[in-house]
């Protein structure tokens, strides 16, 4: 084997990424495992930490706040996904129809829909925090003008989480819309024309033709959005700080509170392990579902 | 063309959607231009003589310029680094049939699965070991973890668009694979490289959690600075809105430049639109 063949070995091209990600993920994972097995509050040097076995795991799994955070995350992730995907698909079908009818203006709509998802999440949180303000907020002004009772919004344990979900839906539904519009425009036209001749109803066409064809894309969106929603804390930090009480404390936010506000990095480590396991399991599961037909 | 009643309904819905998307953006820019005495007025002051007072106070009396410089430094450094690492690999993934390609993909993606705040837990030790607190190099390196997977797949999808025949012609002419990458693919992929760079840049500017944990007085970024306005004593909407607008504007401009390819980035190159 000469030098040129050696230099052109395909694996050589992958080395930069593999090396970077290996350095960036393997040592932290080992350290994370170590941290969960010792007693560590931030003031001790990390080499002299007493080994405590599985105590941190027992502590985390016997704390009601862990389950509360998991439940909050569950509600947050499931509702956001359900709204984003259905609303996004609906709007995409509308845009697609407008494109097919050659109605002008779809290009402008698509450009406008790009805006929310590139704004920094903390800035989005800021918009909504200001608009939700209980006494001077513009949303309460609209409610008041319509003769409806004003709401405490982020100050209420019941309303705070739906308010955060709404901000999330505002920022990320456009991603679903733009993806599905592109996906729909790539569908073959013949089956739809045939169905038209057979006199199939719109619902039948959607169920039998559109849905099976866009299903892989929907699953790709499902995987990407689930992982992102599980990690989410930027807007929560600026809108509610996890409150009132623990009303908006998702798993990611709970990690922040435990590790960086109560300085229990050991228990924060255990919660991170939980978050990682959930993300990997769900990603694998959706991947399998996507492959199976 | 015949106009159906359903077309009119489509437009009505479209107008509602535009209002829904644009209103928060409009409202924040409006607040940033309002004289401070009107900020908490009820009903909201829709019409007023716009003033730049809030911007002047943000630029002169706060740390914004310093923090924005920090954001730009980190975003530029990270973008250059992640493109340099990603391009050869993207070329490889586009041109070679690797054994176990599925597993490689999943592994590269898995770098994005941990919540950043959870990632921060073990990195506290590593960052302390390398004396990396309040050092922009720390963020330049750490942002590789969330950004690199996206950049690799986005670049791969752009290189996929370049015909393999061109590579093969270069190889027949005696080029090595690296030579073909440099002299054929790089020039042709230049627009893709620019789009990917801007995408990476936007993601870095927008990041909050890691900057919040690891940066301190000197290198805190603009997104972290924004949260400083929220205090138990109350909040100043004018300067908050002005800071938010200043962070958002450059990003919006970049996003409009790359608008055709933005979805490609968010979806890891699976959709080209």
> For A27-41, what is the mean pLDDT?
87
Closest A-chain CA to B85:
A16
The percent of residues in chain B predicted with pLDDT above 70, rounded, is 97
DSSP one-letter code for B234:
B
Nearest by CB to residue B121, choosing from A10, A110, A259, is A259
Least confident of A87-96, A218-227, A267-276, B2-11: B2-11
pLDDT at A185: 83
Nearest by CB to residue A120, choosing from B42, B144, B247, is B247
- Tokens 């990997």 — which residue? A280
Query: Which one is predicted more confidently, A184 or B45?
Result: A184
pLDDT in tens, A183-235: 888 888 888 888 888 888 888 888 888 888 888 888 888 888 999 999 999 99
pLDDT confidence bin for A84, thresholds 50/70/90: very high
Q: Do the beta carbons of residue A122 and residue A205 sit within 8 Å?
A: no
Q: Which of B224, B209, B113 is nearest to A24 (CA)?
A: B113
Structure tokens, A59 = 């502590």
pLDDT at B81: 96
> For A244-269, what is the mean pLDDT?
90
pLDDT confidence bin for B273, thresholds 50/70/90: low
Q: What is the dihedral of CA A66, B126, B222, A123, to 10 degrees?
A: -30
Structure tokens, B51 = 């003033």
Q: Do the beta carbons of residue B199 and residue B265 sit within 8 Å?
A: yes
Structure tokens, A78 = 């499931």
pLDDT confidence bin for B85, thresholds 50/70/90: very high
Question: How many angstroms separate the CA of residue A178 from the nearest CA in chain B?
Answer: 7
Tell me: pLDDT of B192 over 60: yes
Question: How many angstroms separate the CA of residue A189 from the nearest CA in chain B?
Answer: 19
> For B59-87, what is the mean pLDDT?
93
| Integer Cα distance of B190 and B173 in angstroms | 23
> For A7-22, what is the mean pLDDT?
86
- Is B231 in a helix, a strand, or coil? strand
| Integer Cα distance of A173 and A180 in angstroms | 11
pLDDT confidence bin for A47, thresholds 50/70/90: confident
| Integer Cα distance of A149 and B206 in angstroms | 36
Q: Do B17 and A275 touch (CB under 8 A)?
A: no
Q: What is the dihedral of CA A12, B163, B149, B126, to 10 degrees?
A: 30
Tell me the chain A residues in contact with residue B226 when contact means C-beta distances shorter than 8 Å.
122-123, 126, 238
pLDDT at A88: 93
Closest B-chain CA to A185:
B273
CA end-to-end span of chain A, whole Å?
Answer: 45
Question: How many angstroms separate the CA of residue B212 from the nearest CA in chain A?
Answer: 10
Q: Do A272 and B1 touch (CB under 8 A)?
A: no
User: Which residues lie closer than 8 Å to A47 by C-beta, 6 or more apart?
Assistant: none
Q: Do B121 and A265 touch (CB under 8 A)?
A: yes
Q: Which of A11, A21, A223 to substitute to test the interface with B, most B CBs within 10 Å? A: A21
Query: Which one is predicted more confidently, A46 or A190?
Result: A190
Question: How many angstroms separate the CA of residue B248 from the nearest CA in chain A?
Answer: 6
Q: What is the 3-state secondary structure (H, E, C) of chain A?
A: CCHHHHHCCHHHHHHHHHHHHHHHHHHHHHHHHHHHHECCECCCCHHHCCECCCHHHHHHHCCHHHHHHHHHHHHHHHHHHHHHHHHHHHHHHHHHHHHHCCCCCHHHHHHHHHHHHHCCHHHHHHHHHHHCCCCCCHHHHHHHHCCCCCCCHHHCCCCHHHHHHHHHHHHHHHHHHHHHHHHHHCCCCHHHHHHHHCCCCHHHHHHHHHHHHHHHHHHHHHHHHHHHHHHCCHHHHHHCCCCCCCCCCCHHHHHHHHHHHCCEHHHHHHHHHHHHHHHHHHHHHHHHHHHCC
User: Which residues lie closer than 8 Å to A281 by C-beta, 6 or more apart?
Assistant: none
Q: Which of A204, A216, A208 is nearest to A180 (CA)?
A: A216
Q: Do B40 and A136 touch (CB under 8 A)?
A: yes
Task: Give bridge partners of residue A264 from the DSSP assignment.
Answer: A41
Q: Do B223 and A136 touch (CB under 8 A)?
A: no
Q: How many Cβ atoms sit within 10 Å of the Cβ of residue B61?
A: 9
What is the value of pTM for the model shown?
A: 0.89
Question: How many angstroms separate the CA of residue A247 from the nearest CA in chain B?
Answer: 19
Query: Which one is predicted more confidently, B184 or A293?
Result: B184
Q: Do B21 and A113 touch (CB under 8 A)?
A: yes
Considering all CA atoms of chain A, what is the largest pairwise distance in Å, rounded to the nearest integer? 82
Task: Give bridge partners of residue B231 from the DSSP assignment.
Answer: B234
Q: Which of B245, B77, B263 is nearest to A176 (CA)?
A: B263
Tell me the chain B residues in contact with residue A287 when contact means C-beta distances shorter than 8 Å.
106
Burial B168-184 (b: 16+ CB within 10 A, else e): eebeeeebebebbbeeb
Tell me the chain B residues in contact with residue A250 when contact means C-beta distances shorter than 8 Å.
none
Q: Which of A50, A81, A64, A69 is nearest to A256 (CA)?
A: A69
| Integer Cα distance of A286 and A217 in angstroms | 12
Task: Give bridge partners of residue A38 from the DSSP assignment.
Answer: A51
Domains of chain B listed by start with CATH number: 1-51 (no CATH), 61-266 (1.10.3720.10)
Q: Do A272 and B267 touch (CB under 8 A)?
A: no
pLDDT confidence bin for B124, thresholds 50/70/90: confident
pLDDT confidence bin for A1, thresholds 50/70/90: low
pLDDT confidence bin for A50, thresholds 50/70/90: confident
Closest A-chain CA to B204:
A120
pLDDT at A254: 94
pLDDT at B1: 62
> For B212-219, what is the mean pLDDT?
90
| Integer Cα distance of B248 and B238 in angstroms | 15
Q: Do A103 and B44 touch (CB under 8 A)?
A: no
User: Which residues lie closer than 8 Å to B23 by C-beta, 6 or more apart?
Assistant: none
Structure tokens, A64 = 């009601």
pLDDT at A166: 95
Nearest by CB to residue A233, choosing from B205, B209, B230, is B209
Q: How many Cβ atoms sit within 10 Å of the Cβ of residue A206?
A: 14
Closest B-chain CA to A287:
B106
ipTM: 0.88
Question: How many angstroms separate the CA of residue A198 from the nearest CA in chain B?
Answer: 22
Q: Do the beta carbons of residue A187 and residue A210 sit within 8 Å?
A: yes
Q: Which of A133, A129, A163, A147 is nearest to B41 (CA)?
A: A133
Q: What is the 3-state secondary structure (H, E, C) of A213-267?
A: HHHHHHHHHHHHHHHHHHHCCHHHHHHCCCCCCCCCCCHHHHHHHHHHHCCEHHH
Tell me the chain B residues in contact with residue A28 when contact means C-beta distances shorter than 8 Å.
119, 122-123, 126
Sign of CA dihedral A98, A100, A106, A111: positive
The highest-confidence range among A5-9, A83-87, B48-52, B235-239, by mean pLDDT, is A83-87
| Integer Cα distance of A37 and A270 in angstroms | 9
Q: How many Cβ atoms sit within 10 Å of the Cβ of residue A20?
A: 20
Structure tokens, A183 = 């996906």
Question: How many angstroms separate the CA of residue B263 from the nearest CA in chain A?
Answer: 6
- Element containing residue B168 per DSSP (H, E): helix B164-172
């Amino acid at each position: 084997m000469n030098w040129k063949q050696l230099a052109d070995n395909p694996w050589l091209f992958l080395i930069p990424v593999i090396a970077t990600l290996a350095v960036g993920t393997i040592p932290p994972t080992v350290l994370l495992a170590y941290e969960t097995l010792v007693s560590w509050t931030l003031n001790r040097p990390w080499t002299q930490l007493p080994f405590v076995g599985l105590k941190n795991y027992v502590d985390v799994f016997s704390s009601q706040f862990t389950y509360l955070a998991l439940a909050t995350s569950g509600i947050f992730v499931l509702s956001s996904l359900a709204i984003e995907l259905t609303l996004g698909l609906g709007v995409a079908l509308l845009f697609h129809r407008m494109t097919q009818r050659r109605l002008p203006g779809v290009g402008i709509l698509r450009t406008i829909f790009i805006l929310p998802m590139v704004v920094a999440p903390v800035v989005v949180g800021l918009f909504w925090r200001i608009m939700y303000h209980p006494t001077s907020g513009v949303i309460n002004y609209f409610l008041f003008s319509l003769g409806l009772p004003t709401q405490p919004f982020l100050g209420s344990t019941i309303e705070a989480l739906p308010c955060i979900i709404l901000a999330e839906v505002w920022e990320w539904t456009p991603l679903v819309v733009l993806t599905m519009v592109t996906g729909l425009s790539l569908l073959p036209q013949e089956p739809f024309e045939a169905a038209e001749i057979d006199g199939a109803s719109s619902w039948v066409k959607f169920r039998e033709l559109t849905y099976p064809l866009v299903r892989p894309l929907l699953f790709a969106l499902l995987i990407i959005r689930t992982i992102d929603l599980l990690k989410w804390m930027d807007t929560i930090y600026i809108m509610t700080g996890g409150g009132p009480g623990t009303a908006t404390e998702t798993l990611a936010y709970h990690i922040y509170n435990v590790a960086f506000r109560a300085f229990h990095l050991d228990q924060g480590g255990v919660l991170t392990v939980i978050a990682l396991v959930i993300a990997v399991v769900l990603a694998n599961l959706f991947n399998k579902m996507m492959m199976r037909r | 063309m015949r106009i159906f009643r359903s077309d009119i309904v489509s437009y009505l819905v479209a107008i509602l959607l535009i209002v829904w998307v644009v209103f928060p953006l409009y409202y924040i820019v409006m607040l940033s231009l309002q004289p401070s005495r009107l900020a908490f007025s009820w009903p909201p002051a829709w019409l007023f003589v716009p003033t730049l007072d809030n911007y002047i106070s943000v630029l002169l009396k706060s740390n914004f310029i310093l923090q924005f410089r920090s954001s730009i430094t980190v975003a530029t450094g990270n973008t250059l680094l992640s493109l340099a690492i990603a391009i050869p690999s993207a070329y490889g993934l586009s041109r070679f049939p690797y054994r176990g390609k599925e597993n490689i993909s999943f592994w590269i993606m898995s770098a994005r699965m941990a919540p950043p705040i959870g990632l921060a837990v073990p990195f506290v030790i590593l960052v302390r070991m390398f004396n990396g607190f309040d050092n922009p190099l720390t963020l330049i390196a750490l942002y590789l973890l969330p950004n690199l997977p996206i950049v690799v797949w986005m670049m791969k999808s752009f290189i996929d668009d370049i015909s393999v025949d061109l590579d093969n012609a270069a190889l027949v002419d005696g080029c090595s694979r690296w030579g073909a990458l440099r002299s054929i693919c790089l020039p042709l992929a230049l627009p893709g490289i620019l789009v990917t760079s801007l995408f990476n840049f936007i993601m870095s500017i927008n990041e909050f959690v890691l900057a919040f944990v690891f940066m301190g007085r000197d290198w805190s970024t603009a997104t972290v600075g924004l949260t400083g306005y929220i205090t138990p004593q109350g909040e100043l909407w004018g300067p908050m809105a002005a800071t938010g607008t200043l962070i958002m504007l450059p990003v919006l401009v970049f996003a409009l430049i790359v608008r055709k390819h933005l979805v490609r980035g968010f979806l890891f190159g699976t959709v080209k639109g």
